[in-house]
Structure formats: structure tokens, C-alpha cells
Amino acid sequence: MTPVGLSLAGVTSIRPRLGVVLLGNCLAAAAVQRRRVETFFVEAEQPSAALRAELDQRRLAPRSVALGLPRASVTVKPLDLPPVDGDLRDMVRFELERHLPFPSEDAAFDFVSLPGTGTPPAGAPGARQVLLVAADRRIVDTALRIAEEARLRARSLTVAAHDLVALAERPRRGQIVWLHRSGDVVDVLLLAGPALVLSRSLPAADDGVVADEVRRSFAVTRWRGCDAIWVSGDAPPPGTPADTPLSALGAPITEPPWTPRAQRLLAAAGEGPRGALTLALAVATAGRVRPLDLIPPALRARRLSRRQAVTAGLVAATVLLGLGALLVPDYRQSRRLDAINARVSRLDPEVKAVEAVQRELERKRKLLATIESVETSAIRTLPVLRELTDLLPSDAWLTMLSVDTKGVELTGQASAASALIPLLENSPRLERVEFASPVTRGRDKEQFRIRAAWEGGLVAAMSTLAAAGPGTLPPAGAPASPGAARGTTPPAPTAPTAATPRPNRAPGQ
């Protein structure tokens, strides 16, 4: 087992594309994973086990493999079919027995129609020509068994030299001869524009023998010459044109016009025989749908016919139109809602500012209502003092006046304390006037303590006093306020007020 490889990038999550070419007792393998390229050779008595070990060692986890057969192990021939109606595959199957060196019932085969190039066969107007590729069933089974034992699913089985076309820029027209040398074998490909029309396998020999075989191939394809000769593989790069047998074919000799991707892959391929590595890279990177594929129908990926593809396309278009008819109104509505949301977003700062002003206004309204409530229910001491000054006689002295939400309490001296009770009872703001403690007699005065409640409640009494104005006293017996007449009681003030007034009369007056 001879490993050769080069990694261009780290392992990614994408599965690598693996191509394996069966070259006798040797396997040439190439794995391409984005910009990572791994190429190696496997030479062992158990090639499948060695292949799996090599993949595990390189941390490659492909699920499938594209298999390539050497050109010398298959039969490739152009067939002329009569211009009759019928299934083309059945017609090719009928012709197999006359063109294969092994029983046709043991053959795995595939074919492609050839373009109308060259000189048509004489005496067969309207005949169809196909390119046939066939291999013995035992060769196919051997290749599939190697893939199965390596725990890989075979996705294609082609002639490795035929996949070389995927690495080159395909010309639109012209007749091209491609000579690819791999070890001691030269594979000859004849291309009519981008289409393969014939391939041959020759033992490695000098240019003269190869040139003679190319001329014999012209007779099979009915060509009169070629427009270009491409040389690749283990052959030395073509140099300055010289007088060689190949140059006698009358066409320029150059390397194939590799695609940019093929140039990167070939540059990344490690050391080793260039011919075999190029074949392995071609098998690994060729398209998923490959012509001339010998894999059994049971393992072949399902391919839609042209009619099936057209039908599937029409069904897909119908589904898309139906989805469009359902989704377009919703899409327009969504666009409209997005526009409205954008406008709302632009107005959002202004809305927040208005809401802030509204909250501040509501807060001030509540504060004003609280202040008004406090002013309405507050105890106004000065009007009370004024009224008591007018009510009490001149020989009465007050040493303490206490005013609270329940009423007033007077403490002082008078010549006749009992005479004060009826005077206070005549007040329209006071009721339930009574002594709070027994009267005591001094040298010439009686000590008293009188308590009285507000008539109709504190708020009614204070409102009447405030409405009367300074110097104005409502007549005795008048109701304190409309609220007092109705018997309503406003809320009480929050705190009592105590005051010590001056005497209403000076002593001796």
C-alpha cells in the first residue's frame, strides 16, 4: 500500500467525493472534499480491507464511491443500427452477440447516440449510429464487491479514461485526438466537439506506432483527419513542434485545456504516477449523471426521462403558481402592516411625551384636590377666637383655648362661670356646652373648664365662619351652613389646633 496525498483544508462536514480506478492488482483512489484533495494507491491481497483502512487513517468518511475500469478491460465499439422503429436498447442488445468476445447474456452494457459527423456509411441512408460500451459480468461483479466490502455504495461504474473529458474545457466543434499515457498503456480518445465517438487502449510504444493506430481509428470514425492532439498523463509534456510521427497527423500537439478546477486538483495531487492519479481524479469529480455507465439498474440512481422531467416541471410550476396566488395577498398585507408599524414607531416618541404630560397633569390634579380638601376641612383658629371674644362677657378671662376636630375647650376665670353656658349655647356653631370639670372658687373669680362640640360638624362650622367674613357675625340661631342643616358631616381635619387667646376685655373695663 503506497499512500500519496496532500490536504488543502481541514475536514468539513461535507462528505468527500471518492473515485477508485481498478488497475489490475492496484487501486488508484482520489478523494475530493471542497478544497481538500487526497490521492493514494492501494496494493494488497485484500484491496477492499486495505481501502477501508486507508480511508479511516486519513479520516475520510465517504458514503459512496465512483468506480472506474481500465479501458483495456471493456469493449468500446460504434454500431450502425438500421433505420427501423423500435426500442433502441433492444436493438443494441440484439447486436451484442456479433460484437463481443464473451457471451452477450453475461454482458453489462450501455450506449449513447453518436453525433452525425464524418462520412455516413455507404448503402445505409438514415442509419443510426451509437457508441457501445460492454464489459464481462465478472469484471463488474468484482468492482462492486470491492465497494461493498469497503462499506461503500457504488454510485457509478464507468471507463476511467472516458471521465477525463470532465477535466478539460470542452470545445464546441472540431475533431480532437486525446492521448493519455498511464503506465505501460496509452488510452486514445476521439472527440467530436464535446462528445466522445471512440476510445482505444494501446500498449505503450513509440510515437510512430501510436500515430499508425490513430490513423486506423480515423477509418472507424470515418474521419479524414483531426484538428488537435492532446497529450496527458505519464507522457512528457509536448514541447516545440518537431518532425515526429504524431506531428505528421497535421494537427497541433498540446496539453489538454484543463479547467481551473482541474488545474487546482492536479496541483494538489501528491507524488506518484501522474497518469493513474489523473484518472482517479477524473472518476471522482465527473458529473453525477454519467453516460456509458455499467452499473446495474438496481444500483443506478433514478433518472427522469425527458417526458417525466417536463411533467415534473409543469407540476412544480403549477404548485408554485398556486402558492403564489395564496401567499401574494398575505405578502401585500404583511408589507402594509410593516409600513403601518414603521409609522407607529416614528410616532412612538411623541406618544410617550404626551403620555408623560398626561401623567404629570393627573398627578397635579390629585395634589390640587388634596390641597382643596385640606383647606376645606382645616380648623381656622382666628374666626373662632373672634367669635368667642364677642360672646364672652368682659369679666371672663381665658387662660387656655383648645380647638380640635371634635369641638373647643375653654379654660379660664369668670365672676359667674355658670352664666357662660347659655352664652355659648346661643352660638350657631357650638352645641352640647358643658363643664368639663367642677368649678372652683378663687378669691374673687371662679375657675372653669368648659367643653363644646361643633354644631353640624367641623367643616360646616368653619364654612359659616369663613362666609361671614371678618367683623361679621351671623345672627344667633341661624344654621351654620347648608350642609349642617341637612345633617351631613364632612371629613374631619387631620390635626387639632390649640391656641391661648388674649382676654377679650382688659381687667377693670
At 429-465, the pLDDT tens digits run 888 889 988 988 887 888 999 999 988 766 556 655 5
Q: How many folded domains does the chain comprise?
A: 2
Q: Is 140 helix (H, G, I), strand (E, B) or coil?
A: helix
For residue 495, pLDDT beyond 70: no
CB 278 within 8 A of CB 266: yes
What is the Rg, in whole angstroms, of the alpha carbon atoms belonging to the chain? 58
Please check whether residue 212 lies inside any domain of the structure: no
**Inter-helix orientation angle 381-391/458-468, to 10°:** 80
Domain identity same for 272 and 385 = no
CATH code of the domain in which 291 resides: 3.30.420.380
Domain identity same for 273 and 408 = no
Q: Distances in Å between the alpha carbon of 271 and those of 4, 38, 78, 204?
A: 6, 11, 37, 22
Q: 113 forms bridges with which residues in the sheet?
A: 130
Lowest mean pLDDT among 17-31, 203-217, 490-504: 490-504
Please check whether residue 148 lies inside any domain of the structure: yes
Region 137-161 average pLDDT: 93
Residue written as grid cell 464546441: 172
Beta carbons within 8 Å of 290's beta carbon, 6+ residues apart: 156, 158, 163
For residue 86, pLDDT beyond 50: yes
The alpha carbon dihedral of 329, 333, 334, 339 has a sign of positive
Confidence class of residue 376 from pLDDT cuts 50, 70 and 90? low
Lowest mean pLDDT among 4-8, 15-19, 21-25, 472-476: 472-476
Looking at residue 276, its pLDDT comes to: 92
Please check whether residue 93 lies inside any domain of the structure: yes
Domain identity same for 297 and 385 = no
Domain identity same for 147 and 261 = yes
Alpha carbon distance 117, 252 (integer Å) = 21
Looking at residue 459, its pLDDT comes to: 56
Domain identity same for 387 and 493 = yes
Region 51-59 average pLDDT: 93
pLDDT over 70, % of the chain: 81
Alpha carbon distance 39, 269 (integer Å) = 6
Domain identity same for 51 and 158 = yes
Domain identity same for 302 and 386 = no
Grid coordinates in use for 438?
Answer: 367642677
Please check whether residue 213 lies inside any domain of the structure: no
Predicted structure pTM score: 0.59
Select from 290, 309, 328 the last residue of a domain.
Answer: 309
Domain identity same for 295 and 386 = no
Looking at residue 501, its pLDDT comes to: 42
Range of the domain at 161: 2-118+125-169+256-309
Residue 294 is which amino acid? L
Looking at residue 168, its pLDDT comes to: 92
For residue 165, pLDDT beyond 50: yes
Region 396-417 average pLDDT: 88
Domain identity same for 291 and 429 = no
Beta carbons within 8 Å of 236's beta carbon, 6+ residues apart: none
Please check whether residue 322 lies inside any domain of the structure: no
Please check whether residue 29 lies inside any domain of the structure: yes
Domain identity same for 277 and 426 = no
Give per-residue pLDDT as tens, 220-258: 888 998 999 999 988 777 765 556 788 888 889 999 999
Domain identity same for 51 and 145 = yes
Domain identity same for 305 and 411 = no
CB-count burial class (<10 Å; 0-12, 13-18, 19+) for 146: buried
Give per-residue pLDDT as tens, 172-227: 888 999 999 998 899 999 999 889 999 999 987 788 889 999 999 999 888 998 99
For residue 494, pLDDT beyond 60: no
